[in-house]
Amino acid sequence: MVNSAVVRKLPILLLGLLLIISLGSCEAPPRKSEPLSWERYDLWANKPEVEVAAPHARKSWIRRIAYYGSREIRDPKKVPPYQFKRIKQLPASEIRALEQVLGSRLRWTLTVGEDAFFSFIPLRDQRLPLPVAYRVSVRIPGGEESLQARVPAPVLVPPGQATEYVDLGEFAGEPIELILELEAPKTKRDLIGRGRGLWGSPAVTSRKPRSVERPGSAQRPNILLIGVDTLRADALGAYGASPSVTPALDRLAAESDVWLQTVSCFNVTNPSFLSLMTGLYGKNHGVYNLTTKLPEKHDTLAEAFSEAGYGTLAVISARHLGPQASGIGQGFDEIFRSDRHYTAELAVDLTMDWIAQQDTPFFAWLHLFDPHTPHTPPAPFAYGFRTDEPTGMRPPTGWTLFRNPGIPPYVHRGLGGQKDLYAGEIAYLDRQIDRLLDFLESRDLLETTLLVFIADHGENLEDHGILYGHHGLFETTTRVPLMIRWPGPRRPGRRLEGLVQNVDVFPTILEAAGIEGKESDGQNLLEITGEGHRGRRAAFSEHAHKSGVRVRTQDFSYVRSHGNPFIKDGNYLYDLRTDPQESLNLAGTGHPQEPEMERLLTGWLAARRKVDPLRPGELSEEDVDRLRALGYL
């Protein structure tokens, strides 16, 4: 006879048994995968083992700084030499290169992560331009060697060679030996031990577990200040350029606050960046050229962040902006400065490598020089291509034409200026910014970093009858892009009307980081623009060498010019509503707006801070000649 109590409890017992069975059959919840970050193994910086020495050569390899870009501007047969003491031709930008002697084999032992690839730029040695091919092999220690790629010899015509990519994904998680060697044509075997080839920017990139804690926080965000030289606002897709050559910057703009009417305080590099770093107009810091140092009494952004316990970095891509000439080094723990001009690729690599080592909040200033003359973009950007879409640290997946293909001749052969090549430089720069943004995102640093993108000044690009010089105080030379991506996840950005200036960045980022404000001429961008705010009533700019001054309101521009060899002395009034190209001078015609603009300008000039005596920068004769070669002197 069945016990009735057991019968009543049977459904409960069965339910419990089923629960035990179901729990036993379930797998344990998967462990959260370890986050992977992009890392670079720089073959230039890491000494190789010489597996086979080059015969008859004292060394099998050396580290070099090479030029990356079109050779035409550096060819004395095509460009008459400058009549300066030391500078005979204007060079393309600098890139790191590993010079290898033909007949040697170089080996690096490393462990690669996921999505690994080796990248390099094949460059021919200009002293002995032997057409060597490039061989990349991989060997598992103790195993057989396998050829991964053979890249034919680059040609000796412009532009600079495109980056080559070698997939190493099959070796993820394994220690490997990466072997580089050169291959000579059969007819040139007698040059073994003498011929050379250059591996430009050689690096292995892959995703690995993060090696340091993510720096920065919501309360103490990292600051990444990207300052681009000679970049007009209207050269970016986010500011109306069509077709756009900047897919990565356009994506950044879509999640940033974008100020549509940003006015630079200067039309020239050093004074403009000093205004950005100090929050002061030129009339108050006193620097009007590329040969005068900033007085040490002025507080800089780097000093403010250093005092607050931040690590500070400056990557300066142009020699003339270096601390020895400008005084801009105040407050930086570490400074990388080009001997001439860095490529954006090298400047971005230096920045990423430094950030990868940081475990405390940082302030990093990345200066990029590429849009400045000479315009020497590498392939395929020089031919009129830009990347299909942002791919970040990964190799590009495709290319899109933004103009008729081919390499146009320089319009200004002395400076190496050309509109389409200018656009190519910007497309190349965009690709490097794309790499940097993906690097930051892989480390969750976009969550804790305030990113500012701005230019020092614009460029005439043949407007106003001026060939490839940023002379004059026009919209072309003073209107610059400005966007700020605030810390946190991706969110829709804003497009903000109203006049603002580059000096306004100074108080904005200090307040965002909770750092006590320093005395400046700037105003917090968030307080003067946005809902219910119309920006500044007027914006002011000064010309290099004190040869002009400008006031710009929402609708008008008024300039006093004197002593400028490119602009006739006198006053200039433009109605920007009907004449955005600033082609019709209304000054002296009785226009009712002229007295008001004159009053604004006179009042602004009268309000000055005390400026300490200035001292010249530490410039050699060669430095002065370089400035002349760039069109500054």
CATH number of the domain within which 357 lies: 3.40.720.10
95: containing domain: 36-209
Structure token pair of residue 224: 């990444």
pTM equals: 0.90
Structure token pair of residue 513: 């980081």
CB 509, CB 548: distance < 8 Å: no
| pLDDT score at 273 | 97
- Number of domains observed in the structure of the chain: 2
pLDDT band, residue 21 (cuts 50/70/90): very low
- DSSP code of residue 390: -
Question: Do 332 and 421 fall within a single domain?
Answer: yes
pLDDT band, residue 233 (cuts 50/70/90): very high
Lowest mean pLDDT among 56-65, 239-248, 496-505: 56-65
Question: Do 342 and 461 fall within a single domain?
Answer: yes
CB 298, CB 292: distance < 8 Å: no
Which of 209, 241, 258 is the last residue before a domain boundary?
A: 209
**For residue 431, what are the CA distances in angstroms to 405, 435, 458, 564?**
19, 7, 20, 37
524 alpha carbon, distance to own chain's centre: 25
CATH code assigned at 120: 2.60.120.260
pLDDT for 519 beyond 90: no
User: Mapping DSSP to helix (H, G, I), strand (E, B) and coil, where does residue 349 land?
Assistant: helix
Question: Do 314 and 180 fall within a single domain?
Answer: no
Q: In this structure, is residue 340 part of a structural domain?
A: yes
Question: pLDDT tens digits, residue range 523-573?
Answer: 999 999 988 899 999 999 999 999 999 999 999 999 999 999 999 999 999
pLDDT for 354 beyond 50: yes
Structure token pair of residue 578: 């009907």
Question: pLDDT tens digits, residue range 590-602?
Answer: 999 999 999 999 9
| pLDDT score at 620 | 60
Distance CA 457, CA 232 (A): 7
CB 182, CB 122: distance < 8 Å: no
Question: Do 202 and 257 fall within a single domain?
Answer: no
Q: In this structure, is residue 233 part of a structural domain?
A: no
Question: pLDDT tens digits, residue range 82-111?
Answer: 544 555 667 789 999 999 999 999 999 999
